Amino acid sequence: MYFRDADDRFGTDDIRVPVWRKQPGDGRLLCYCFGETESGIRRELLEHGRTDVVARIREHIAAQRCACDIRNPRGACCLGDVIAAVKRFDRSMLSVRDA
């Protein structure tokens, strides 16, 4: 999973949560504070034609409910990754609809 020197290696059994960038598949966890997954975002887009995931996370941030520095393996806010995923899924769904 991670390494620094030859003797400092961390495998998937050594971490508390899966690292979404290193996990295969569509069910990857994007938001470690509020449990938002790629599959949940995609499902919301398919069922409703839109997703409120970004607004939900922003509301949590405004209410100071997130702990990205502790929960996210990167130690940073996930909102940029979530926004990028929404754009990516939205584009892929539009191209399928237009085909």
Domain assignments of the chain as residue spans, ordered by start: 2-98
Q: What is the pLDDT along the chain (99 residues), one digit of tens a residue?
A: 444 566 666 565 655 555 545 555 666 888 989 989 988 999 999 999 899 999 999 999 999 999 988 888 788 899 998 999 999 888 877 655 544
Decide if 25 contacts 81 (C-beta within 8 A): no
pLDDT, residue 28, reads 81
pLDDT, residue 29, reads 84
Neighbour-count burial for 82-92, b at 16+ CB within 10 Å, e otherwise: beebbeebbee
**What distance in Å separates the CA atoms of residue 95 and residue 99, rounded to the nearest whole number?**
6
Query: What pTM, to 2 d.p., does this model score?
Result: 0.70
Within 10 angstroms of residue 77's Cβ, the number of other Cβ atoms is: 16
Decide if 20 contacts 12 (C-beta within 8 A): no
pLDDT, residue 66, reads 92
